[in-house]
């Protein structure tokens, strides 16, 4: 599970690490049998669409915050249309 790919402190990021590089490393874990599936948690719609544009192994699980004040209809639609195995709803994100 790859958690949201950002931080509030830019110095915490590794300078040469990109979302695509991280995802590719995770895909290699699938190809070696170290894990069966990959997932994303608390990604934005733009980040999910970016991953889907080049991922060889598509996310099987998407965890997202969803409640009356944050409906995320487009995100839910993308997750459901892309034939993901699970969309996990988290209404109590800190």
pLDDT at 54 over 60: yes
pLDDT at 72 over 80: yes
- Residue whose tokens read 């970016």: 50
Helices (H), the chain: 19-31, 45-54, 73-81
**Alpha carbon distance 64, 77 (integer Å):** 12
Q: Where are the domains of the chain?
A: 21-90
Summarised one tens digit per residue, pLDDT across range 7-45 is 555 555 556 678 888 899 999 999 999 999 998 888 889
Calculate Rg over the CA atoms of the chain.
14
Summarised one tens digit per residue, pLDDT across range 59-68 is 988 888 888 8
Tell me how crowded residue 35 is: count the other CB atoms within 10 A of its CB: 15
Beta bridge partners of 90: 65
């Amino acid at each position: 599970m790859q958690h949201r790919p950002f931080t509030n402190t830019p110095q915490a990021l590794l300078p040469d690490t990109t979302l695509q590089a991280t995802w590719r490393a995770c895909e290699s874990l699938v190809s070696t049998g170290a894990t069966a599936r990959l997932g994303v948690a608390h990604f934005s719609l733009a980040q999910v669409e970016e991953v889907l544009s080049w991922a060889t192994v598509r996310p099987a699980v998407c965890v997202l915050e969803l409640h009356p004040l944050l409906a995320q209809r487009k995100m839910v639609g993308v997750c459901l249309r892309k034939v993901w195995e699970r969309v996990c709803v988290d209404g109590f994100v800190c």
